[in-house]
Amino acid sequence: MKIPVPGLAPEVPLSLPVPVERTLPNGLRVLLTRRPGVPLAEVRLSIPAAHTDLAAADLLASTLFSGTESASMTDIARRLQSVGGALGAGADPDRIAVSGNSLATGLPELLETLGDILKAAEYPDAPFEVERSRIIDGLSVAEQQPDFQVGRVLDARLWGDHPYGHQQPTAAEVAGVERAAVLALHASRIHPAGARLVIVGDIDPDATFAAVEKALGDWNGAGEPRTMEPLPALVTGPLVLVDRPGSVQSAIRVAYPAVERVHPDNAAQHLTNLVFGGYFTSRLVMNLRETKGYGYSPRSRVDHSPAGSSQLAAVDVATEVTALALAEVRAELRGMADNPPAAEELDLARRYALGSIKLATATQAGVANYISVLASAGLELSWLAEHSERLREVTTADIQRVAAEELDPDRAVTVVLGDGALIRDSLAELGEIAAQ
Amino acid sequence: MTVATIPAPAFAIERFRLANGLRVVLAPDPGAPVVGVAVVYDVGMRSEPEGRTGFAHLFEHMMFQGSHNVGKAEHMRHVQSAGGTFNGSTHIDYTDYFNLLPSNGLELALFLEADRMRGPAITEENLANQVSVVKEEIRVNVLNRPYGGFPWIKLPPVMFDTFANSHDGYGAFDDLDAATVDDARSFFDAYYPASNAVLSVAGDFDLAQARDLVERHFGNVEARPAPVHPSFEEPDLTDERRLSYTDERATLPAVAAAWRVPDPVTELDAFLPYVVLGELLTDGDASRLVERLVHGDRSATAVAAHCTFMSEPFASRGPTVMLVQAFLPPGTAVDAVLGTVDEELARVASGVDEEELDRVKARVAAQLLRGDDSVMGRSRRLATAEIFHGDAAMSTRFAGLLGEVTAESVAQAAAALTPRRRAVLEVVPGGAQ
């Protein structure tokens, strides 16, 4: 006899913390959120960096903590470690970002250290040369990874001359960056105007603001603000085949258009993506993984970036089923409009979407990440509550309409990386191929 | 420099055992409206039978293929329909299944875990499907990328002699292909009784109600005796062992050295100094080996030291190891790097100052606390502490115990890492230079 699956208890409403927002006279926007739980603090700093030299920005991020006039790299690392802290930095086409965490009691010390670096990083020669070599060494390894290889080709194919078309510098570009270029980049771009500091944790917002003011109030300088131009529209074309001799899998990537977060169709797009391939119970995973066993993690996602949005379906499959798998990905894309989800399939995705927002905002790190990501799109954390309400209103007709507009394989961009000698002929049966 | 005092997390932990032997851990914390539900079975890759490498992991996949009252793929559908996420993971000494849901999904998660604790519904068809999925997982993570399986799959056969300790836990394709429905039944019968498991719930729930729900759903899971865990003990090395292999997709030389360490469970006090030593050697730019190898000599491009092959010092049994692994700039000689590691170990062995030790401990404590930020992480750590250390509350004490490790014991640990006792694995880059 079957035992019925228990239902759910009454839904617990989404409860989002409300960040305390203040702006320092130097322009730094500060968002502070008390979120008790573990006695820690999470820190996210984002500095706009459109149209910086990519390789120089990477080097700046890797050597930001290498020393100031009064502290060596080791001194800085010790100071952070003593409060259970760590800071790291990274760069992408839109921003230079610093993120880290420490014991909550050590947050003032972490902020002082951060302030010293932002105001007086020296990029000393010796660590600079070490980091430049390390980035080049790391690139040589990354360039052997299928995901990195196919991602680089896909970015170039999708975005061409837009800065998003080249998001990973080459070894030669990194090798050509001198210390003077990084010092110049710091002088022109590492400024509080337009920058945003997010702190979430077991903190008192007033005391923390005082600590921020003390550590970063005299961070200054005038930059040259540059804005990122919007992404161009996707231009379809023949499948791009990237040859990777000896590859035992093929990396299939299919990109298709998306609307931005603030577009009226965004909620429908969110659910369309889930039903298609955005969660385990999606059509793509059930077909390619659970029925056919072609791949371990077929998936799709919506990418919202400051310059624009796009969607991507991805799966790595055994070489011998490459064309079969790509045909299935295309059929599932087309199927979203031809065979739209019934109410039950849509409701399942909707409940998942609503729950995911609760899960993603249940931790200090999650709240810090969400505040930061939304702020980069000009949105507040409370947007998640508004989005949740819009998710509740999406109908199957909305899904069908959005799918017809976006999930059309004939208008998508496809890149496949694999052993060309083994997969070219079968892929050619699906349509025209452009060799990379 | 003042060093922060180490705080302890503040949530209550209740433990009890059902009549069928299932150990239960409840850790209520109303911080956010979500619950983490984890079930840990006390069986890992070390227990899989000869000729069936990779079976513990394959079996973990089969636990998602349906059970008495749950069809194929329905576990995922139910959890996701409640707004939750799920996964499972197979380790050297345990296998865990975990769910994170909005708190109104607690009973659903308990029902689903209890249902498959009574036995998965394995068929020829879904077994063949998951063998195929697991092979693709291995291709992604091991076969189609540089340094695949380095060092966690490649080093154990250099270090150890017995099948249990040395075999590839991801599995040989031949062995995966040979797996049968009967194998799965035997494995379930041997290792998946309630008495060999811990259920752990953390997050936003009412304690009394959770007790009732646990009893209602798990109370009638059949009582079966727990397996007796054999000793996997092997003698320590008395002479260095080495293996070198070429990785066609690697671009940099790499090396890993491993030494046997005291048993993480039965010799916890003697083991903890090695955990601190690993952090002292490679955590951050102020650590000994990063300072010396990466920034000083420039003989490594990255270096990391940690205890146990999967870097989970509090969720492992012995015999196990401490590892130092490094990626080297092109053309760098592995022996020169090993020689420098020996020098730095000797320097630690000659004495560690308290200030250095205190800041290393502060960072370790913060990292352990960070693992408790998510109730999913918390529920998993509580469960493994119950499995390995016989008390879930130990998971909140590890930071404090590491704080009590003395400079002298860290020096002694470093002194024990001699060349004669180590196993060394070297990767020769075959890729484009």
Give the domain CATH number at B366: 3.30.830.10
Specify the range with the lowest mean pLDDT, choosing from A101-115, A226-240, B6-20, B309-323.
B6-20
* Residue B149 sits in the same domain as residue B245: no
- CA dist., res. A427 & res. A424, Å (int): 5
H and E: helices and strands count for chain B:
16, 11
Query: What is the total count of domains within chain A?
Result: 2
Phi, psi of B158 (to 5 degrees): -80, -40
pLDDT above 80 (res A40):
yes
Confidence of residue A37 (pLDDT cuts 50, 70, 90): confident
* Confidence category of residue A3, pLDDT binned at 50, 70, 90: confident
Cα angle B246, B250, B253; round to 5: 75
Q: Does A70 have pLDDT greater than 70? A: yes
| Residue A75 predicted with pLDDT over 50 | yes
Give the pLDDT score at B433: 42
A1 pLDDT tier (thresholds 50, 70, 90): low
As a whole number of angstroms, the distance between CA B180 and CA B59 comes to: 11
Same domain (yes/no): A141, A243: no
pLDDT at B431: 62
Q: Is residue B233 part of a domain?
A: no
Q: Where are the beta strands (DSSP E) in B49-148?
A: 85-90, 95-102
Average pLDDT over residues B26-46: 96
Residue A226, pLDDT above cutoff 90: no
Flag if B374 and A40 touch (Cβ within 8 Å).
no
**Mind listing the pLDDT tens digit for each residue in B385-402?**
999 999 999 999 999 999
What per-residue confidence (pLDDT) applies to A227?
Answer: 86
Q: In terms of domains, do B211 and B245 share one?
A: no
Distance CA B417, CA B258 (A): 9
pLDDT digits (tens, 9 = 90+) for B144-178: 999 999 999 999 999 999 999 999 999 999 999 99
Helix pair B106-117, B207-218: axis angle to 10 deg: 30
A11 and B73 within 8 Å at the Cβ level: the answer is no
Residue A114 lies in a domain: yes
Last residue of a domain, one of B218, B233, B251: B218
How many domains does chain B fold into?
2
CB contact under 8 Å between A296 and B133, yes or no, is: yes
Mean pLDDT over residues A223-239, rounded?
Answer: 89
Same domain, yes or no: A35 and A140: yes
Residue A382 has pLDDT above 70, yes or no: yes
More confidently predicted of A277 and B5 = A277
CA distances (Å), origin A228, targets A50, A154, A235, A410: 6, 20, 20, 29
A122 has pLDDT over 70: yes
Question: Is pLDDT of B240 > 80?
Answer: yes
How many angstroms separate the most distant Cα atoms in chain B?
A: 64
Residue range of the domain that includes B316? 241-429
Contact indicator for A197, A27 with CB cutoff of 8 Å: no
Contact A144 B431 (CB under 8 A): yes
The answer for B 196-215 residues in CB contact with A (under 8 A) is 204
SS (H, E, C) A232-252: CCCCCCCEEEEECCCCCEEEE
DSSP string for B379-432: HHHHHHHHHHHS-GGGGGTHHHHHHT--HHHHHHHHHH--GGGEEEEEEEE-S-
- pLDDT at residue A322 greater than cutoff 70: yes
How high is the pLDDT of residue A128?
Answer: 97
**Which of B85, B135, B140 has the CB atom closest to A359's CB atom?**
B85
What is the model's pLDDT at position B31?
Answer: 87
Tokens of B244: 């070198």
Percent of chain A with pLDDT over 90: 95
DSSP codes joined into one string, A373-393: HHHHTT--TTHHHHHHHHHHH
pLDDT for B82-121, tens place per residue?
999 999 999 999 999 999 999 999 999 999 999 999 999 9
CATH of the domain at A407: 3.30.830.10
How many angstroms separate the CA atoms of A392 and A35, rounded? Answer: 27
Q: What are A145-188's pLDDT values in tens digits?
A: 999 999 999 999 999 999 999 999 999 999 999 999 999 999 99
Task: Give contacts of B115 with chain A, Cβ < 8 Å.
Answer: 3
Q: Same domain for A53 and A184?
A: yes
**CB burial class (10 A; 0-12, 13-18, 19+) of residue A194?**
middle
Whether B308 and B396 map to the same domain: the answer is yes
Question: Residue A401's pLDDT is what?
Answer: 98
| Spatial contact of A305 and A311, defined as CB atoms under 8 Å apart | no
In contact, B393 and B10? CB cutoff 8 Å: no
Tell me, yes or no, whether A139 lies in a domain: yes
What does the pLDDT read at residue B3?
59
Residue B318 lies in a domain: yes
Same domain flag for A49 and A122? yes
Q: Which of B139, B283, B367 comes nearest A248 by C-beta? A: B139
Q: What value does the mean pLDDT take over residues B306-314? A: 97
CA-to-CA dists, residue A152 to A37, A71, A254, B99, angstroms = 40, 38, 14, 35
- A95 and A182 in a single domain? The answer is yes
Q: Which of A359, A364, A417 to mutate to test the interface with B (most CBs of B within 10 A)?
A: A359
The pLDDT tens digits of the residues spanning B246-263 come to 999 999 999 999 999 999
What is the number of alpha carbons within 13 Å of residue B360 lying toward its C-beta?
A: 27
| Domain assignment present for B226 | no
Domain range enclosing A42: 20-216
Q: Does residue A13 lie within any of the structural domains?
A: no
Give the integer Cα–Cα distance in Å for A211 and A33. Answer: 14
- Over 90: is that where the pLDDT of A2 sits? no
